[in-house]
Chain A
Amino acid sequence: MAYNWNWGVFLQPTATGDDTYLGWMFYGFKMTIALSLSAWLIALAVGAVVGILRTVPNKLLAGIATAYVEVFRNIPLLVQLFLWYFVMPELLPEQLGNAFKQTNPILQQFLASMVCLALFTSARVAEQVRSGINSLPPGQKNAGLAMGFTLAQTYRHVLLPMAVRLIVPPLTSEFLNIFKNSAVCSTIGLLELAAQGRQLVDYTAQPYESFIAVTLAYLTINVVVMFGMRWVEAHVRVPGYIGAK
């Protein structure tokens, strides 16, 4: 098998001449990080609200929250991405849709990807928040209400402080997933890590080096996030809860 390994290819200038191939990789890496982190923040906020709503004693609100989760969990991520990127601008009121289509294409791709990843992940975060709240003994809520707290106060001072600490370990895996899922956004042309890997194959004709480098980059992200979250988990663990799940 004759394959010419050439790891030096990363230091060569690109076809357009303004950067090295390593620079392209680094651009994709930054894009993946920026996209995943911004989507993650939105997902946490939206997911927390939806997850809490699923546990409140109000049929209408809980029903809406359940429908939200079911919709985002039962449509493939790729389809959701295409719906946000191709369909949403057409369905918005004309002015807004046109305004979106006239912005910088990279910004369009980034916004569609961010909203898509954020809401897709928020449904999963909501499920963790719900199961965290439901895993608390029912006596806690009753005790809060018996002390004269309103329902909102009971959530704010009794249920959520515990639930938040309990759901950190399962949220770690969702956090890891958002980085992996961000690779799907290469399909609408966003130049993140996976897309840059593909581009490198086309430009350098060194497919093995390119893909090995991109795969290693994802592994690195995974390891860093895992160690970071392990540190967080150790700090928020509730003493006395066995392994806090």
Chain B
Amino acid sequence: MHEFDWSSIPNALPFLWDGMKISLEITLSAVVFGIVWGTVLALMRLSSVAVLSWFAAAYVNLFRAVPLVMVLLWFFLIVPHLLERLFGLPPGSDVRLASAIAGFALFEAAYYSEIIRAGIQSVPKGQMAAASALGMTYGQSMRLVVLPQAFRNMVPLLLTQGIILFQDTSLVYVSALADFFGAAYKVGDRDGRLVELLLFAGAVYFIICFAASRLVRHFQNRMKTA
């Protein structure tokens, strides 16, 4: 049996916290950009302009058919070179973090747009009709009447998707970016305490995600009764 030795964790905590900050930074920026771009995609998908809805459908289906790991590899191995060439950046500029955030945001937007589309469609048609009858333009009725109601219904789903995204940020491991998981792996590898560090990382992820999903459920129940 393995002899446990947890002594390397206390000293590594500041380093692990730095990693956690990167994980959270990627999660938050990807959630924000993902929801914004996802909303645009959802509106395009529901638009009566054929080109727009066709483009949105193709985008969403493409990103949902490809593994996140593949998308991230594209963004780590190919996109930086492309940017270097296009903008004449010095080779080897560290665009890994920006690249990771862009990759996650573009990928998650496809999933967010499906949630948002369902949310918009769940708002009764009469709302749109009433807004038009009051003389609002399409843009005004969407912005002032439909979207606020849609988002209210979607909040739990959007948050749940955010928790999944937080778990998925561990995949930036493929770019050797030191997020929380990458940091834990590095410390474990350095001290020969991989078993302890991996168990610790698993426990931390579990506690955060379990607590967050409980909070979402609590919030959801309160909204139902409200």
Contacts and interface: CB of A to CB of B under 8 A. Distances in A.
A20 interface: no
Interface stretch (A86-94, A108-116, A152-160, A162-170): A86-94
Q: Is the interface of B mostly helix, strand, loop or mixed?
A: helix
Interface residues of A, number: 41
A76 B194 contact: no
A93 B86 CA distance: 56
A218 B61 CA distance: 12
- Most chain B CB atoms below 10 A, which of A78, A187, A207: A78
B219 interface: no
A211 B74 contact: yes
Interface stretch (A8-16, A54-62, A136-144, A193-201): A193-201
A181 B198 CA distance: 20
A183 B86 contact: no
Interface string B56-86: 0000001001111110011001100100011
B68 A91 contact: no
B206 A91 contact: no
B74 A183 contact: no
Given A78-B170, A91-B1, A218 B198 contact: no
- Most chain A CB atoms below 10 A, which of B66, B194, B213: B66
Nearest to A181: B67
A147 interface: no
Given A74-B167, A87-B195, A215-B70, 5 more contacts: A75-B209, A76-B181, A87-B198, A194-B69, A219-B65
10 closest A-B pairs by CB: A183-B67, A74-B209, A76-B167, A222-B65, A183-B69, A180-B67, A90-B2, A76-B170, A78-B170, A74-B210
